[in-house]
Structure 1
Amino acid sequence: MARPNDEVAAVLQEYADLLAITGGDAFKSRAYEKAARALAGHPADVSRMDAKALRAVPNVGASIAEKVVAYFRDGSVPELDQARKSVPAGVRELVAIPALGPKKAMTLYQDLGISSVDELAGAIRSERLRGLKGFGPKTEENLLHGIALLRQSGQRVPLGTAMAVAEEVVAALTEVPGCERCAYAGSLRRMRETIGDVDVLVAADDSGPVMEAFTALPFVTEIVAHGAKKTSVRTTEGLQIDLRVLPADAWGAGMVYFTGSKAHNVHVRQIAVRDGLKLSEYGLFDTESGERVASATEEDVYARLGLPWIPPTLREDRGEVAAGLAGELPDVVTRDALRGDLHTHTDLTDGVATLEEMVLAASRLGYAYYAVTDHAPDLFMQRMTDAKMLAQRERVRELDGRHRRMRLLHGTELNIGPDGAVDWPPQFLAGFDLCVASVHSHFALSRDAQTRRLLRACENPYVNVIGHPTARRLGKRTGIDADLDAVFAACARTGTALEINGQPERLDLGDEEILRARQYGVRFAVDSDAHSTPGLDYVRYGVGTAQRGWLTADDVINTWPLRKLKRFLRKEGREETSG
């Protein structure tokens, strides 16, 4: 189910975590962490590579390469197995709690015998952590919040994880003889940020072969229910997948019914009842005669109810039905409308691909322009310097237009400090084509302080985009506490775009904030924040989130022609620079 690259990356990351928990060599732990990221982001299938080829992957040394080969050959890594024995499973579970690092997890186990999330929650409430070095009242508060986040996310998986599973299922079932159509539906099709379970529909006259192929998929670990019309399984990652088989002539009705949301379906069914009709997964029926009046396509079903086809990402009962009836549905932005990506990284900082590799991969996506925005120096672990950035700029200029005439923009991702200041002085910032500014630290500042720092960043004449504006990490960290309406108003006033970051663990801004921000006239940038060539595909999740926020192409600056985009990037009152 998981890509081999992701699979072995998880193994190496676990080993890095275990080294950190046990107080092992910090350099070694960091090396394994870097190798895990590099392999996850490598475009080729690393399971097919020998040790020599693996050593050519950045940050993969000889020892790690041998472990990767051994893992795919034997199914295990002896050093990892040994490390697992030295750390109780409960301690490894504790590390998953946001705000609890490996050293503190081991301290809790050694000093208090805490080896599970439930035990930690109980210990905090009974004040057993009081007096333990490094665990004050604020730490306790953060830990309880982290436990709540962990439990909340435990029943759902990130959009990207669910999408990878669903696409593999759809690809496999499409090849089954007799399968006429196959697609995923449900909250996944609506591109919600987290997914409870995956719904897959198949159109076939005989469900038997499809159900048999479904339950035989290699990543299925449990058959929850098995029937002729519906079968449910659980995967190795604990995700439930529900498969439903429908007649081909009911496909459209089935896709409407099982895409949802529940509230949207209730609203649509109310219209059907008003018109003397009844809607089910098999079609739209005349209540009196029982005659089926529409079913083959979603367009047919909606049209019979007096509605245009409603994009799945809008089907949340947030006004889309009324807008459809009034002929006012937005023409939502699509991935094809994107002309470029304005937030990406290379191996100059924390990316795993070279500048040349990222540029080539972007050109293959058909972009008209592409921005490189490596981290600035205040994110100190990236060791950025003026000289490094200027050398990269020179190379960007050399590559400009070489690949399918794609234009290159040299940018940076600045760090918004606690007071709203950014890394470089104005004279250095003036040399960039664009600047993304993001919060990377000081997440616990007061609401007023967070708001002030964001407002100051918006008002900086060289800041073009506020990157991942709330700094949230789904299931790991809530967004910063700021007056977002004040920020939205400032962005509209200063001509600063808000990012919709496509990283599945971010999706920041989220759809509800987008809906609010657009009321202020804010412009947006849908970006991948890619740190590898496969990561460029994350824009698909950003686009889905933008659609959920009812955005059109005109709302998104990286759908614009380059000349119009450059005018926006100059910001009102600042002259264009030649750097």
Structure 2
Amino acid sequence: MARPNDEVEALLKEYADLIAITGGDAFKVRAYEKAARAIGGYPTDISRLDTSGLREIPNVGRSIAQKVAEYLRTGRMAVIEERRTAIPVGVRELIRIPTLGPKKALRLYEDLHIASVDQLAAAIEADALADLKGFGEKTQENIRHGIEILRTAGGRVSLPLALDTAEEVITALSGVPGCRRCAYAGSLRRMRETVGDLDVLVAARRSAPFMAALCDLPTTGDVIARGAKKTSVRTTKGLQVDLRVLPPESWGAGLQYFTGSKAHNIRTRTIAVHQGLKLSEYGLFDAGSGTSVASRTEEEVYARLGLPWIPPTLREDRGEIEAALRGTLPELVTERDIRGDLHSHTDLTDGLAPLEAMVEAAAERGYAYYAVTDHAPNLYMQRMTEEKILAQRERLRELDGTRHRMRLLHGTELNIGPDGEVDWPGEFLAGFDLCVASLHSHFDQDRATMTRRLVRACENPYVDVLGHPTARLIGRRPGVDADWEEVFAACARTGTALEVNAQPDRLDLCDEYILRARAHGVKFAVNTDAHSVPHLAQLRYGVGTAQRGWLTRDDVINTWPLTRLRRFLRRSVRG
């Protein structure tokens, strides 16, 4: 279920955008953005708080607390609705284009009456922006590229939104009398980085009660189509949900079929044909007699085809069929295998929770070890100093082993500079238990320069993990351009792990790059990059991405016992 915190976070972010579009005070915009992040990352359900309780959340003042309380009480926030009416929807859509800020969006609307992404794309192609101040050739090229990114994302949504919606629907439908089984399928079950339509399956004898229940859900905005076998609705958040009701005896075949992918299903159907069988969503049948030979479980269907059960995250026709036939399918890493998180932040820099709260939350997750890696000083906005980081280390040592005997590692997230240099000299870095190095700026360097930059960072003897390596933000910013084969080879040569960053807007490395890097013998770290207590639960998305990249426990350093992990973290280099 979606948390009220998440709903309010989205609203406040939208309000900050609306203020910016209308030329509002920049300080006010930042205040609402900070409040949004603080509420989204607050561990307590804010629906239980009154106005005074809301004001105890960092960066939430009296005015914002009152607006939040209004929303929790009435389901609406009047100031947002007023701003919405004053700004065309198309203009609000324009600011979703990467590189196009609110001020430029407003100028396009006021000067050229552009109020949609399509209109802007047409205006650029017609060279209609040439005389508009601030929209030179480079700016237009950046906007054109941003439109391509936005269109590539299309109507797809993030994993958390899709999963929240799926869990709400499944909870509701599972309570309808006659429900034997209920689950989600499709790209969400395969843990793709974004989801288009949400596929939900029910096993039951009668379909009508479930179709009615889906249409009557509070989260259902529009009913697209309603039938006996399939009903499609669009939620109030814009996600299409397709519900199919199957006979209980067809559950396994239906789950296999609607999980996909299309390419994987073509392969399984081909195998069936070669065996004189026919595979559909209703079962595996003898092609001649029409007799059902398997259908109740996925395991039964795959076994009858001569295959072991194939994990959904592998079903992309990227060699999983061949591996299954050879008996060499990997034993994929699972969330239970992760012994600790090696990348997280506190309120010493841009995190939302104090050190003690993050440590306590990590211990509650059952971790054997946990690393705090606040930003180093070259990310200037964080104003880190040697004194601050050393004071944190002292406090971390005091807490070490006091929470369910969990061991604590003191690390830092270094900034990879334009030439590949990192914050702090080697003698200071030697005092850390681990160092994550990440790109935070200069994303537009050419391929050769970026490659040298990343390789140089890997060659630094104190860099243990390359954090969110491509620096992409899904649907907002593409990954940097580099010769990744050269970077992966450098990681393998230097023993630098590549991060699989679990933040849903990153999922960086992506599955395709993981597969390529794994071929070089690289090791990986599946981390949350948590900036608040709730972010620690995002590990599931990183693990799903790791599975799509065929990673096993042995590939992932934070599944290892602490003694093996410490050996990997170059203790000999640090003395």
* TM-score bracket for this pair, using the shorter chain length: over 0.9
Alignment of 1:477-516 (within 5 A): 477-516=477-516
Alignment of 1:95-134 (within 5 A): 95-134=95-134
Per-residue CA deviation, residues 361-396 of structure 1 (Å, 9 max, x unaligned), is 111111111111111121112222222211111111
Q: Distance in 1 between matches of 2:529 and 2:76?
A: 32
Paired residue for 1:440?
440
Return the letter of the residue paired with 1:3.
R
Alignment of 1:54-73 (within 5 A): 54-73=54-73
Q: Distance in 2 between matches of 1:17 and 1:379?
A: 24
Q: Please identify, of 362-371 and 81-90, the stretch whose mean Cα deviation from structure 2 is larger.
A: 81-90
Return the letter of the residue paired with 1:172.
A
Paired residue for 1:384?
384
Return the letter of the residue paired with 1:520.
H
Unpaired runs of at least 5, structure 1 = none
Query: Under a length normalisation based on structure 1, what TM-score does the superposition of the two structures give?
Result: 0.96
Alignment of 1:330-369 (within 5 A): 330-369=330-369
Distance 1:89 1:34, change over 3 A: same
Q: Distance in 1 between matches of 2:573 and 2:221?
A: 61
1:131: how far off? 4.2
Q: Distance in 1 between matches of 2:87 and 2:378?
A: 35
Paired residue for 2:313?
313
Return the letter of the residue paired with 2:143.
L
Q: Distance in 2 between matches of 1:364 and 1:546?
A: 23
1:196: how far off? 1.1
Q: Distance in 2 between matches of 1:182 and 1:442?
A: 47
Query: Under a length normalisation based on structure 2, what TM-score does the superposition of the two structures give?
Result: 0.97
Look up the SS of the partner of 2:372 in the other structure.
strand
Q: Distance in 2 between matches of 1:263 and 1:212?
A: 33
- Of 548, 551, 575, the residue aligned with 2:573 is 575
Look up the SS of the partner of 1:200 in the other structure.
strand
Q: Percent identity?
A: 69
Q: Distance in 1 between matches of 2:212 and 2:23?
A: 48
Paired residue for 1:13?
13
Alignment of 1:169-188 (within 5 A): 169-188=169-188
Per-residue CA deviation, residues 167-195 of structure 1 (Å, 9 max, x unaligned), is 11112212222111111111111111111
Query: After the TM superposition, which parts of structure 1 deviate over 6 Å for at least 4 consecutive aligned residues?
Result: none
Q: Is the 8 A contact 2:437 2:467 kept in 1?
A: yes
Q: Distance in 1 between matches of 2:210 and 2:44?
A: 31
Alignment of 1:297-312 (within 5 A): 297-312=297-312
Alignment of 1:450-469 (within 5 A): 450-469=450-469
Q: Distance in 2 between matches of 1:173 and 1:353?
A: 37
Q: Distance in 2 between matches of 1:294 and 1:555?
A: 35
1:256: how far off? 0.9
Paired residue for 2:374?
374
Q: How many residues align?
A: 575
Q: Distance in 1 between matches of 2:260 and 2:16?
A: 42
1:72: how far off? 2.0
Return the letter of the residue paired with 2:300.
D
Unpaired runs of at least 5, structure 2 = none
1:108: how far off? 2.4
Alignment of 1:70-469 (within 5 A): 70-469=70-469
Q: Distance in 2 between matches of 1:111 and 1:382?
A: 38
Q: Please identify, of 234-243 and 202-211, the stretch whose mean Cα deviation from structure 2 is larger.
A: 202-211
Return the letter of the residue paired with 2:14.
E
Return the letter of the residue paired with 1:321.
I
Return the letter of the residue paired with 1:290.
G
Return the letter of the residue paired with 1:546.
A
1:288: how far off? 2.1
Return the letter of the residue paired with 2:372.
V
Look up the SS of the partner of 2:301 in the other structure.
helix
1:154: how far off? 2.6
Per-residue CA deviation, residues 75-119 of structure 1 (Å, 9 max, x unaligned), is 333333443355443322211110011122223233333332222
1:48 is the counterpart of 2:42: no
Look up the SS of the partner of 2:106 in the other structure.
helix
Return the letter of the residue paired with 2:508.
D
Q: Distance in 2 between matches of 1:377 and 1:129?
A: 40
Q: Is the 8 A contact 2:461 2:573 kept in 1?
A: no
Q: Distance in 2 between matches of 1:355 and 1:417?
A: 27
Paired residue for 1:519?
519
Look up the SS of the partner of 1:171 in the other structure.
helix
Per-residue CA deviation, residues 203-242 of structure 1 (Å, 9 max, x unaligned), is 1122222222111111101111212221111111211111
Return the letter of the residue paired with 1:376.
A
Q: Distance in 2 between matches of 1:210 and 1:126?
A: 51
Look up the SS of the partner of 1:575 in the other structure.
helix
Return the letter of the residue paired with 2:257.
Y
Return the letter of the residue paired with 1:49.
L
Per-residue CA deviation, residues 516-569 of structure 1 (Å, 9 max, x unaligned), is 111100000011111111111111111111111111110000000001001101
Q: Distance in 1 between matches of 2:89 and 2:266?
A: 45
Per-residue CA deviation, residues 402-447 of structure 1 (Å, 9 max, x unaligned), is 1111111111111111111111111221111111111111111100
Paired residue for 1:34?
34
1:43: how far off? 2.1
C-alpha RMSD of matched pairs (Å): 1.5
Return the letter of the residue paired with 1:575.
V
Return the letter of the residue paired with 1:295.
S
Distance 1:340 1:278, change over 3 A: same
Q: Distance in 2 between matches of 1:70 and 1:429?
A: 48
Q: Distance in 2 between matches of 1:278 and 1:425?
A: 65
Look up the SS of the partner of 2:569 in the other structure.
helix
Q: Distance in 2 between matches of 1:567 and 1:261?
A: 40
1:318: how far off? 0.8
Look up the SS of the partner of 1:148 in the other structure.
helix
1:549 is the counterpart of 2:520: no
